[in-house]
Amino acid sequence: MTTHAPVLLWIGTYPHAGIGTPAGLGEGVWRVHLDPATGRLLDGRLVVRTPAPTFLAADPGGRVLLGVDESAAGTVTAWDVTADGGLAPRATVGSGGGYPCHVLRTPQALYVSNYSDGVLGVLPLAADGGFAPEVLAAGGAVQRFAHAGSGPVVDRQGGPHAHFAALTPDGRHVLVVDLGTDELRRYARADDGSLAEAGVAAALPPGTGPRHLAFSADGALLHVAGELDATLHVLAWDAASATGTPRAVLPAAPGLDGGAPAHVLRDGDRLLMGVRGVDVLTTWPLGPDGTPGTPAVAPLPGRTPRHHEVVAGWTVVALQEEHLLVVLDRAGAEMGRLEVPSPACIVPVTPV
């Protein structure tokens, strides 16, 4: 591996006692550096204390950081990144719903998935990476897209639960992964980032509980993590109609019973999924057309893989209930670790 400067990672966290406990008990945003030559994690420090910043997004230049407060109040904060690596709050606004759990950032807008009520909030961004004037004037999301429906898992699917949003490869639509209704909701996207309702892109089998998704390199396949049925759903994606059709259903952790998939991520010619409960990282090699091959299932050195990112060739995993970040090589060997209370997401920043 070629040696480069350390890569900055922003780490969002849950309240230390875990999901469902009151926010504001000391959690916050951490700043960590990854040595791309060795996989070591360096200089970990808590930068700002803020309630339940469980998902973050940074602008490409690393000037502004955006993060949710995953609580009933449902807010998003914009921080300016200071010269000394600190975070100076610029504004806090409403997310459009309750318990925001994911943000998708584009140059034009921030799309916020609100879990408890299933609302997708749209917050336009200014050229400097902060909230646009209309967001500040409104005190939050300028568009709110609610949804209706439920699923058969009574304690988890009583209503819509937006869990993740992604752009389609052509950028024409935003897809919202709805764990509560077993659907991929579809919204047409205008050049300014505003959205319009456009129906449902795919309906998954009842009880799937879709959580996150990733497209194949050529955009022809869609890989969806089923949290409730512990599977990977592979869909054929038709760009012209922005529709997915079922192709295959694969176990999330072959050879193991149960588990709850969290994040799924494509890294070049492989697909990586963290599976909580059984606490493994499942890696599928991808064929030329994006079809998953025979997976490798690697035990993780701790509990509850909440999120992972591939950074400079290393896989960084947030082990929430272990209060630990770990760095793995492609073979799954541990290369570095750092204690961080209840890590929930990892956001690498490469200055431009």
Q: CB of 196 within 8 A of CB of 209?
A: no
Asked if residue 8 belongs to a domain, the reply is no
Assigned domain for 130 exists: no
The reply to whether 90 falls in a domain is: no
pTM equals 0.97
Tokens (6 digits) for 279: 């606490």
For residue 230, being part of any structural domain is answered with yes
**pLDDT for 6-27, tens place per residue?**
999 999 999 877 666 777 777 8
352 compared with 192, residue with greater pLDDT? 192
Mean pLDDT in the chain?
96
Q: 10 with 29: CB under 8 angstroms?
A: yes
What are the phi and psi torsion angles at 177 (to 5°)? -85, 115
Phi and psi at residue 143, to the nearest 5°: -130, 140
Q: What is the pLDDT of residues 288-345, one digit of tens each?
A: 999 999 999 999 999 999 999 999 999 999 999 999 999 999 999 999 999 999 999 9
Which domain does 243 fall in, by range? 147-299
Residues whose CB is less than 8 angstroms from the CB of residue 99 and which lie 6 or more positions away in sequence, other chains included: 70, 71, 72, 74, 114, 115, 116
In a domain, 341, yes or no: no
Please count the structural domains in the chain: 1
Q: What percent of the chain has pLDDT over 70?
A: 98
Residue 281 has pLDDT above 70, yes or no: yes
Asked if residue 135 is part of any domain, the answer here is: no
pLDDT at site 352? 62
pLDDT (0 to 100) of residue 351: 64
Q: What is the CATH number of the domain that holds 293?
A: 2.130.10.10
Closest by CA position to 54, among listed 229, 338, 300, 304? 304
pLDDT, tens digit, 9 for 90 and up, residues 33-87: 999 999 999 999 999 999 999 999 999 889 999 999 999 999 999 999 999 999 9
Q: Give a yes or no: residue 215 inside a domain.
A: yes
Q: Is residue 350 part of a domain?
A: no
